[in-house]
Structure 1
Amino acid sequence: MWAPARRDAAQAEYIAAPSLTYWQDVRQRLWQNRPAMLGLGFIIVLVLAAIFGPMVSPHNYYDQNLKFANIPPVFQTYEVGDTRFFFNSGNFNLYEVSPEGEIEGLLRASKKDLIKKQQQFKFGDETLILDTAKQTLTLDGTPLEPTGWQWNRSNLFGTDQLGRDVLARQLYGARISLTVAFVATLVNFFIGVFYGGISGYLGGRVDLVMMRIVEVISTIPLTLYVILMMVVLNSGFFSVVLAIGTVYWVDMARIVRGQILTLKEQDYVAAARTMGASTGRILTRHLLPNTIGPILVTLTMLIPSAIFIESFMSFIGLGVTPPQASWGTLTSEAVETLRAYPYQLFFPAAAISLTMFAFNFLGDGLRDALDPRLRK
């Protein structure tokens, strides 16, 4: 049965919820956002893999071995006697593998018939015929059936057209992409934030001149900047980083300027100015800390854009140069052999997509957590 609550004056001012500071509330609400936490977890794993992965990997990003070119990460194995092997349709070779899936070596044909497009392999008294035209294996006249699928333990992501380990190049590409993200973050924070803050706070002619400079920079395409950097500094990773660092702060400057234009009319700013606070102190101690929410959200949104720009530049040949590897160069090389070896395109494309999703999910979560009006 329902009953009316007792009237108690002492309980009228009682606060049942725990008292939390602003940042404690932000952390608690961000923790409850599952997509944002998944994105943050993926970013942490990606950073750790990019830093420590190449150190523990038995392969590096530049060693070539044409004998082991275009080996997939998963293959069907065959057994003849005590020998386990698989057929690589990419280069028409047979490779001996261990029961654990490690590639032990290349099997040499005892006889090759170029007219019939056949190769013969001897396994004791048994003869295996490889028909490269039909891509069939015949053991003493009987078609040989595969024994099952095996994961490539020597190269977990397979190898590319030059026999280089795809996983090692993937991890090295993550280093380049995260370096671009780090540079974009520093440039946005130290140039964009203070440039936009000074422009918005001073206003007048100073704001007019500073914003016209921003508009001029933003109208010139980034690709043209990179081409100009390549002419002066030659193509490479440094040219892309310098181009992004030169122009990538304009969006942040505009956002911070808009926030400062709103906040500088508040009473606490007028009080600080009345007490004799300098322009630098008002900006650094009163205005910019109150814009930290939009700054963090904008940073997390601009970082995936910077990663995509670097990948696109490398894809069209304006980024890093061989033998360096980035996600853009990996996709560019894999497009040429997409139908034959789709796995070479899948891994870098998946890395770019998942990284952009992770930063976007984290940015959405930060936007919701930093806005008190969205508190449920």
Structure 2
Amino acid sequence: MSNENHSVADETIKISPDMFERATGAQKEDSEKIAAPSLSFLQDSWRRLKKNKAAVLSLIVLILMMLASVAAPILAPRDPNAQVIQHANLPPKIPGVDINGLNGTSVAGTTRVDKYEQQNVPDDVYYFLGTDSLGRDLLSRILYGTRVSLLIAFVAALFDLTIGVTYGLVSGWYGGRVDNVMQRILEIISGVPNLVVVILMLLVLNPGITSIIIALAITGWISMARVVRAQTLKLKNQEYILAARALGESPVQIALKHLIPNLSGVIIIQTMFSIPSAIFFEAFLSFIGIGIPAPTASLGTLINDGYKTFRFLPHLMWYPAGVICVLMIAFNLLADGLRDAFDPKMKD
């Protein structure tokens, strides 16, 4: 039995030269070809982001809303501040639509009446989202109000990118006593509520966009500075940073060529979260009456005007509240998607 097994083993390991053939040039190229395409960091991040359907949908919604707000002078059917008292408190009416709430009718007591007919509105005059108590077109005011709110939000984001990133880089790079002093300054500034800063601004400036922007510029960049400082403390001892310092590069060159590119993901994500916060802050100030003054429209002022007559004219509050909700949700979903896309440890 052992001899038979030995002979079988000899037969199985017998290899002849005829079993091999020389590989051609084409076969060598195929074996060494990389199957996946070479992607940069941004290309790979975009590939990850496209897999997040909620983030892509939010990006599309935000682009459309931004384009609509920028083109407000073209898209708005009327002057947002033009008052037509004869057309006050009209419900929405869309031509060709016979749905309650969109056909110009409203409930008066127990019956539904045509408000446009009651107020002798011409047949060719429509208000797609209705009018307010002064006869101003709500759609036009929402378009212009969204424009103002987004302007304030993006200016606040600009301050985050300039003041916050610079402050965080300097604090994290130098460390030691410089970092200690700069962080104590941050704690003092963050200890003052934003509302107090705005009220102090009103003592010097008139209520409006300028005072809100200055208030956000004073306190809004603190979170960005802390995040950038923490990441800088972690990155400044990496090998490529030490090599750049050994080669004689200045701190400014290191920050521009090495630190900021590696912090770009964190900076973009933090910026995306700061924009909805600024929108909500402006809406809150305008709602309590110390934000954008009349007759300028913003989402906060429109909600403030609408909630007073919410029981009788709910559309005056629902539409601007819906716009601000869509903005907040879309920015937060996009920020979540960007956070996952910029994370290289995220599994596909």
| TM-score of Structure 1 vs Structure 2, range by shorter chain | 0.7 to 0.9
Give the structure 2 partner of residue 255 of structure 1: 227
Inter-CA distance 70–15: structure 2 relative to 1 (3 Å threshold): same
Question: Aligned runs of 1:271-282 on 2, under 5 Å?
Answer: 271-282=243-254
2:240 aligned with 1:268, yes or no?
yes
Preserved CA contact (<8 Å) 2:171 2:178: yes
Matched AA of 1:256: V
Matched AA of 1:95: Y
Q: Among residues 278, 292, 297, which one is paired with 1:320 in the alignment?
A: 292
2:33 aligned with 1:18, yes or no?
no
2:210 aligned with 1:238, yes or no?
yes
Deviation at 1:59?
0.7
2:301 aligned with 1:283, yes or no?
no
Q: Secondary structure at the match of 2:116?
A: strand
Q: Secondary structure at the match of 1:95?
A: helix
Give the structure 1 partner of residue 304 of structure 2: 332
Preserved CA contact (<8 Å) 2:310 2:317: yes
Inter-CA distance 157–361: structure 2 relative to 1 (3 Å threshold): same
Question: Structure 1 segments of 4 or more deviating over 2 A?
Answer: 8-19, 53-58, 74-77, 84-90, 92-97
Determine the C-alpha separation between the residues in 2 that align with 1:28 and 1:323: 45
**Which stretch shows the higher mean deviation, 182-191 or 46-55?**
46-55
Deviation at 1:96?
3.5
2:199 aligned with 1:180, yes or no?
no
Preserved CA contact (<8 Å) 2:128 2:139: yes
Give the structure 1 partner of residue 345 of structure 2: 373
Q: Which whole-Å deviations, capped at 9, do the CAs of 1:341-360 have from their partners, x for residues lacking one?
A: 11111011111110011111
Determine the C-alpha separation between the residues in 1 that align with 2:309 and 2:221: 37
Determine the C-alpha separation between the residues in 2 that align with 1:188 and 1:315: 24
Determine the C-alpha separation between the residues in 2 that align with 1:22 and 1:86: 55
Give the structure 2 partner of residue 57 of structure 1: 76
Deviation at 1:375?
3.1
Determine the C-alpha separation between the residues in 2 that align with 1:16 and 1:76: 56
Deviation at 1:373?
0.9
Give the structure 2 partner of residue 162 of structure 1: 134
Deviation at 1:18?
2.3
Deviation at 1:153?
6.4
Determine the C-alpha separation between the residues in 1 that align with 2:274 and 2:93: 36
Matched AA of 1:46: M
Q: Secondary structure at the match of 1:167?
A: helix
- Looking at secondary structure, tell me which structure has more strand per residue: 1
Aligned length: 313
Question: Aligned runs of 1:33-112 on 2, under 5 Å?
Answer: 33-74=52-93, 89=108, 95-96=116-117, 103-104=121-122
TM-score, length-normalised on structure 2?
0.84
Determine the C-alpha separation between the residues in 2 that align with 1:12 and 1:211: 55
Matched AA of 2:45: V
Q: Secondary structure at the match of 1:373?
A: coil
Determine the C-alpha separation between the residues in 1 that align with 2:31 and 2:246: 40
Superposition RMSD in Å:
2.7
Deviation at 1:23?
1.5
Matched AA of 1:192: G
Determine the C-alpha separation between the residues in 2 that align with 1:85 and 1:255: 51
Q: Among residues 180, 185, 203, which one is paired with 1:213 in the alignment?
A: 185
Deviation at 1:32?
2.0
Deviation at 1:13?
5.6
Inter-CA distance 31–314: structure 2 relative to 1 (3 Å threshold): same
- Sequence identity percentage: 45
Determine the C-alpha separation between the residues in 1 that align with 2:236 and 2:114: 72
